[in-house]
Amino acid sequence: MMTGYLKKIRIMIPLILLIFILSGCDYQGLGGEYPESFTIGGDVETPLTINTMMGYPIKRVTKDEKNYTTIALEKVIASAQPRSTSYDLLLIGADGLSSKINGNDLSDCHLSYSNRYDWELINTLHPISSQIKNLSTIVVISTDLDEDKKAIGIDDKKGYRSTTAGNLYLNGFTEKRIFEGQSEINEKTVAVYTTHKQVLPKDLLDFQAEIAVFGRDGSIKFDKVSDKSFFEISETGINYTASDLTTITDVAGVLGDPPRFSIIDVAPDAIHQLEKGSDVMVIELDGLGWTMLKMAGEQGKAPYLSSLSAQPALSVYPPISPAGLAAMITGTLPNSNGINNREVMDFKGTDIFDKARALNKTAAYIEGDIKMLNTSIEPVLSVNEGDQDRNVYENTQKAINAKNQLIFTHFHSIDDDATTYGPYSRESMEQIYEVDKMVQELTHDFRGTIIITADHGLHPSGSGGTHGRICYEDMLVPYMIIKNGQV
Ligand SMILES: [Zn+2]
């Protein structure tokens, strides 16, 4: 008896043969699929494997008196969603032959399929070398790295630069086969390997004994570069495998020779002092980067702050105000407290005010004109128009006079001026001078331990300043602890 399944096959075979004959021997299977495919990867949102022309407009193209059935390369690339509007394409053939073309000028580029050459580029205006046959891979390479949200920042002795997975493709990588296991059936064994595109630290960084690798989720891995550590190009970005084989997935950037102090030390340092019986005041100077304070010191614009012994400390990724503040008050990284963007106000875990209350300590939190996070105590907002930081200063004085045992105060004007005029501008230096005076007066009036630090620094951008990437200017801030009178 014939089953329904076999019946179906009996009908299908002549049908497939008929399609095969009608399609001019293009091996196009049912559903319009070809036996060979190519992939689109690199700097795209949606990596694709293409084995059909279905879904794309078909165009007949004539080149050198030959007719081709094609689809537009531009449309195919668009369907993979390039991460930047400006990009190059690296076209790689099965034989390894490759060529690079400008992705913004693809109007004459078409993809055709034939038995002889599988997928083939038919470019009517480009040089012949771009006509890759047996196409296996197209790598999209962002050329506007500021626009590509998956670009990674690197800062070390060579200075700041950024790159992307697509650009690493172009600069070279080591293809490594890694044994994944073996399967056995009918006494036949098959070993399974996966192919990894590895970039060695020495090919990406200047020689550095130590690096800090930041994950896009806010995680950090401090590592000593060794022959076991490597970066890897993945479909979604760049990963890092450290010497101890732990992995950072989706790297945001790398700093060479990072400081070991970090702004997440604020909470444990403050709580430790409260436990020892010292009162604590934390002064957060928004946007005061390590290099900005150094310059202000050299120009005589930070007489008090530069008289203190400051250590460079690491901010967190992303180096933005809410992430920095959350890291300070919780003592945890953004991947654990959940604040790695500007949208969320509720963090995970307890803050220093909660911990102070558990120690029966009174606490005050002085903010600028808006609440940044949903802290366990309400901030005192400072709304003085024109000179908000003067109001922050006055509110902090009140908190000192009220004998609060923990005070956290947040000055904003340095960041405001560095954003508007640039971090090294005369205006920013003058503002550091103003804040320096207020900080000196507050520390003079407070008995106890004083921690002074910043959430992030800024780097110049256009006529002003900005922050948010992995570079020393954004990521390094001063960290100072002073003891005054008490303890
Ligand atoms: Zn800030």
User: Digits of tens for pLDDT over the chain (487 positions)?
Assistant: 445 555 555 655 555 544 444 444 455 665 689 999 999 999 999 999 999 999 999 999 999 899 999 999 999 999 999 999 999 999 999 988 889 999 998 999 999 999 999 999 999 888 888 889 999 999 999 999 988 989 999 999 999 999 999 999 887 788 888 788 888 888 888 888 888 889 988 888 987 789 999 999 999 999 998 888 999 998 889 999 999 999 999 999 999 999 989 999 999 999 999 999 999 999 999 999 999 999 999 999 999 999 999 999 999 999 999 999 999 999 999 999 999 988 899 999 999 999 999 999 999 999 999 999 999 999 999 987 778 999 999 999 999 999 999 999 999 999 999 999 999 999 999 999 999 999 999 999 999 999 999 999 999 999 999 999 999 999 999 999 999 865 4
> What is the 320 CA–ligand 1 centroid distance (Å)?
5
- Domain 263-484, CATH homologous superfamily name and number: Alkaline Phosphatase, subunit A (3.40.720.10)
> What is the 284 CA–ligand 1 centroid distance (Å)?
9
> What is the 415 CA–ligand 1 centroid distance (Å)?
6
> What is the 355 CA–ligand 1 centroid distance (Å)?
24
> What is the 263 CA–ligand 1 centroid distance (Å)?
13
> What is the 17 CA–ligand 1 centroid distance (Å)?
68
> What is the 20 CA–ligand 1 centroid distance (Å)?
64
> What is the 27 CA–ligand 1 centroid distance (Å)?
60
> What is the 455 CA–ligand 1 centroid distance (Å)?
5
> What is the 222 CA–ligand 1 centroid distance (Å)?
24
> What is the 427 CA–ligand 1 centroid distance (Å)?
17
- Whether residue 112 contacts residue 101, with contact meaning beta carbons closer than 8 Å, is answered with no
> What is the 154 CA–ligand 1 centroid distance (Å)?
21
> What is the 470 CA–ligand 1 centroid distance (Å)?
15
> What is the 357 CA–ligand 1 centroid distance (Å)?
26
Q: What is the CATH number of domain 17-142?
A: 3.90.420.10
All CATH 3.40.720.10 domain ranges of the chain, comma separated, are 263-484
